[in-house]
A and B are shown apart, each in its own frame.
Chain A
Amino acid sequence: MKVNIKTVWISILSITLLVILIDSPASTDIKKTITIVKSSNNSYYNLTIDSLIERSPKDISFEVVLADSSHFNNLTLLKTNPVISLGSKATSRVLGKFSDQPVISSYITNNQLQSLSPTATNHFPVLLEQPFERYLAFSQKLLKLNSLGIINRQPQLLTRRQKIILTQLNLNLRQFQTDKPESLLRTIRQLKSQSDALLILPDQNLFNRNTLKGVLLTSYRNRIPVISYSPAHVKSGALASIYSSPEDIGHHLADLLSQYLRNKLKPGQTPQLARYFSISINSRVAYSLGLRLPKESDIRQFIDETLR
């Protein structure tokens, strides 16, 4: 039998290609549909989904499912398909139902992540919190501070990079400890003599809806500008916030999905802090405190350059 060498080569190539296509996580099946599970019908989830879709390759289609719907209960997925979960409820339910599934989750805080134990190795969480250095650079550029005060229950241990950033910013970080919300306002009054501004970091034991009123009123009356992790606090009366908007979160998710599809997202990675950020400023508070603030573009440039 005479074998055509050309036919043999074509056959080998075809089989190889077929094997590659079957083995690769970026199989044609995955490209077809990515499931997004959201905790509720909040408008900010929808903004994030829009942002994610807009930034993802056009050949990917998305299916959006509510975590507490019957559709979710009946959902079956290819094991290789990543699921995107929005919010802690959705994340918890997805991890519970699809324990071996790769899950990219967002709209969860570090606190909430700790409660999701044990952490699956195929879980890629994106936290709502910003890197601490970003808060520092933002505060310094905004207010030209000598010292910045934070209130926490335990002193925050600074990383080497954070210490370098503080030196680079010529900024003194003053930490004040209290573990009782009722002594929070007293601590703010003490902070006044040693700090030019107060940075509020996520800690529901200290900064919650119950204490927010007192914190903002006391700070304002003591003419201490408040910089917060939450844009909601800016609406309430904090001076400014650096945070990730729903669009920023969608952008970050699109990056991760793309990395996953290119097989560049390895299991067991540490949770990612917010990558993209927005800035919110309460101009009325700034006006009332007699502050002249830099332009947002200058603040962004400064943060990018400082944290490069």
Chain B
Amino acid sequence: MNMKLSFSTVRSISGLLVCLTIFLATSINAQDVTTESDFFEDAPLILTASRMSKPLMESPASVSVIDRQMIKAAGIRKLADIFRLVPGFIVGNLSGNTPIVTYQGQGAVFARQIQVLVDGRSVFIPSFGGVPWVNLPLLLEDIERVEVIRGPNAVTYGANAFLATINIITRHATEDLGARYSLTASDSTNPNVRDAYFRLGYHFDDIDWRLSIGTLKDDGFETVNDSRETDKLNFRLDYLANNNQFWTIQLGTSNTISGKGSPGSATNQERNEDATNSYLNINWEQVRISSSTSIRLTHTEQKVIDNYQPEPFSIGPISNVTTFIDFDRLSNRTDLEIIQTEEFDIFRIVYGTSFREDRVKSIYLLNSNDFHDIHISRLFTSMEWRFAQDWILDLGTTLEDSSITDQEYSPRLSLLHNLTENHMLRFVASRAKRNPILFEHSGLTIFSANGNIPGPGMTDFDMKIWQGNPNIVPEDLISYEIGLRSQYADSAISSDVKLFSYRITDYIDEASFNEAHPLLGTISVGTSENADGFRVNGLEASYNITPISDLDIKTGVSFVSIDTENSDIKESYPEASAFITAQYEWQSKHSISASYYYVDEMIWLHTPSNTTIPSINKLDLRYSHLLDESSETRIEIIGQNMLEDYIDSLQENINERVYLLRISGGF
């Protein structure tokens, strides 16, 4: 299946739907008298077991939830910065327009160990791996909450839900009726933030829709060519049919023009990259009192245009080399997923299947102008069994078959015991796989060039720099965790502490081999290989404290110890990281918050020189004043990086103090 969604197509469809909705809305008849039918007739099933979250106390894994209030309180502007509020998560910026997110370690620009979903749709890039954080067709204001499962979760989400899973959940369209806007600007010329957001939501009968548009602009770091200008559009329609069938149709697109390259570099010259990311998500769910069936079809397309002709340069003895560098790439992901849930008295069973097709076309990655496909099919099931009072057993497994790997299974066992009314102890053992991405498995990068060779003079030649490894096998992870989740003082204090240990084997690492070159002698060609494994042990804790009704404090810490000979891997795991955020509100109009983040010394993998990043101390402050209650007009002043400047990923990426002013309201 090859569907193409361009920005203009999505915009046209959205416009059409808006017009249709307004047209249909004219036929609404208001009902304004309460009748007996409001008491006794069938009503729609809106919240059912399958649509409600389990209490965190009974979660079979370590879960952190960041809701929109917390996102607001932390004064967050960039999507990736949300994850600073999760114990063990590390956020960096390879450049001002390339955020990096990892869990505990192994952080790289194309992180492949974390599964990221937006409303159940995987946004992992099939070509390079990683997540296009800046260019996701998702606006911060549309997010309802973010659930982060800290630990493997292949049982639910398949391969790549390896170290952690991020599930971003946007608001139901019915929660965003009317119009809302937000404008944000920074004080200084750098990063020169200019953001705008506008949303329109409408409702008639059993249909709700929301249209959101936004633009985000900034100049990034002062001395780096990393400005960006992103335009986003999102449309969501929720339709309730026959009281128990929920249709959700989402489509959106995002386009980013971002600065790339370094000044003075011969081959990585300064330029702009044009990236477009579009998607369609159709979800149907039929809910019954004790069961539900859902079918989701999603399609995502990521297109990057980034090609240029560098100035002539030299390679060894060859001078005056000219070439055309073509980083253009197009990747599609189409996913069909069917899930059934069944509830019995002491059992709850979830099972389903999914089929995925990833298609990648890229001269740079695959040395071909044809699509390369990967097909993945998956069967999964999990069962929750309350086999005794105060005991819950959660068992699950997934069986996955990919066209580039053998059949694999990833099981998980969780045993939960309610020690007292306020303390839940859990033991979790799980196994997960991380499939190689297409580039690691069958990538081939060859530059065709022309250069002046001593003797023959100007000659055409090829130069291979990467060759994937088709014999590579998936990374394997076996993890154990003991956790205690507690609630005290009528939930005014809650905590989650876990001790964990996991071992990764067949770690997929970058390597190189020597190859004879007709002109250059022996050259080094990059490849991937299964390297030695390593073990990671640690402790994570998080606390939510509400000492008085208007004061919220959330904090988390992570301590990690790694046992490996691989120094890069070892240094990619900071020994400690922590955050604390506190918000105080008074008179229902004023709110002040402070968020402090700490990360120990570390490196980001695959950065140009594996720069060691000194420990980071980051403090953000925010003051918010509600100007008008009825329209929720609010003014916010946000100060970021209020302590010393700090280096982020690379020496030249210096985070300086920034003040943001934001005005938002509705009508």
Contacts and interface: CB of A to CB of B under 8 A. Distances in A.
Nearest to A282: B47
A194 B52 CA distance: 24
A109 B36 contact: yes
B38 A230 contact: yes
A216 to B, nearest CB: 5
A209 B32 contact: no
A236 B39 contact: no
Nearest to A231: B39
Contact of B55 (A115, A205, A218, A287): A287
B175 A193 contact: no
B491 A236 contact: no
B478 to A, nearest CB: 32
A191 to B, nearest CB: 11
A51 B228 CA distance: 72
Interface in A218-267: 218, 220-221, 229-233, 235-237, 243, 246
Given A182-B177, A210-B203, A88 B36 contact: yes
A290 B55 contact: yes
Contacts of B205: 210
Given A190-B629, A193-B588, A220-B47, A112 B174 contact: no
Contacts of A102: none
Contacts of B27: none
Contacts of B178: 182-183
B609 interface: no
Q: Which of A87, A229, A235 lies at the interface centre, i.e. has the most chain B CB atoms within 10 A of its CB?
A: A235
Contacts of A218: 175
Interface residues on B, range: 35 or more
Interface in B49-63: 49, 52-57
A208 interface: yes
A284 interface: yes
Interface string B147-178: 00000000000000000000000001011011
A37 interface: no
Nearest to A235: B43
Interface centre among B39, B55, B203 (most CB of A within 10 A): B39
B52 A217 contact: no
Given A204-B31, A213-B208, A185 B177 contact: yes
Nearest to B666: A186
Given A210-B203, A220-B52, A232-B38, A204 B32 contact: yes
B32 A243 contact: no
Contact of B36 (A108, A186, A194): A108
Contact of A290 (B39, B43, B47, B57): B57
A69 B199 CA distance: 52
Contacts of B48: 237, 284
B432 interface: no
Contact of B632 (A186, A230, A236, A237): A186
A232 B43 contact: yes
A290 B31 contact: no
Interface string B202-238: 0111001000000000000000000000000000000
A233 B40 CA distance: 9
Contacts of A213: 44, 46, 172, 174, 208, 240
A215 to B, nearest CB: 9
Contacts of B565: none
Q: How large is the interface on A (under 10, 10 to 19, 20 to 34, 35 or more residues)?
A: 35 or more
B647 to A, nearest CB: 39
Of listed B36, B208, B632, residue having the most chain A CB within 10 A = B36
B401 interface: no
B313 to A, nearest CB: 56
A236 B47 contact: yes
A199 interface: no
B45 interface: yes
Contacts of A165: none
Contact of A214 (B35, B45, B203): B203
B588 A202 contact: no
A203 interface: yes
Contact of A236 (B46, B55, B203): B46
Most buried by B among A107, A186, A208, A292: A186
Nearest to B68: A221
A292 B177 CA distance: 33
Interface in A80-114: 87-88, 107-112
Contacts of A193: 550, 585, 588
Contacts of A216: 46-47
A221 B53 CA distance: 10
A107 B38 contact: no
A205 to B, nearest CB: 5
A236 B33 contact: no
Nearest to B176: A185
Interface in A275-308: 282, 284-285, 287-290, 292
A107 B205 CA distance: 26
A132 interface: no
A158 B666 CA distance: 33
A285 B31 contact: no
A92 B489 CA distance: 55
A131 to B, nearest CB: 16
Contacts of A74: none
B55 A112 contact: no
> Which of A88, A217, A220, A292 has the most C-beta atoms of chain B within 10 angstroms of its own C-beta?
A217
A128 interface: yes
Contacts of B145: 221
Contacts of A205: 30, 32
A88 B35 contact: yes
B514 interface: no
Interface string A153-183: 0000000000000000000000000000011
Interface in B571-611: 585, 588
A212 B34 CA distance: 13
A109 B36 CA distance: 7
Nearest to A86: B36
Contact of A202 (B38, B203, B629, B630): B38
A193 B31 CA distance: 30
Nearest to A178: B630
A42 interface: yes
* A-B residue pairs, 8 tightest by C-beta: A237-B47, A232-B43, A214-B174, A202-B34, A288-B52, A290-B55, A237-B46, A236-B43
28 contacts: A88-B35, A88-B36, A108-B36, A110-B34, A112-B33, A115-B33, A128-B39, A182-B177, A185-B174, A190-B629, A193-B550, A204-B31, A212-B46, A213-B208, A216-B47, A220-B52, A229-B39, A230-B38, A232-B38, A232-B40, A232-B43, A284-B52, A285-B47, A285-B52, A288-B47, A288-B53, A290-B55, A290-B487
Given A190-B629, A194-B588, 20 more contacts: A44-B40, A88-B35, A88-B36, A108-B36, A185-B175, A204-B32, A204-B35, A210-B203, A210-B204, A213-B174, A214-B174, A214-B203, A217-B46, A217-B47, A218-B175, A230-B39, A235-B42, A284-B48, A287-B55, A292-B421
Interface of A: 42, 44, 87-88, 107-112, 115, 128, 182-183, 185-186, 190, 193-194, 202-205, 208-210, 212-214, 216-218, 220-221, 229-233, 235-237, 243, 246, 282, 284-285, 287-290, 292
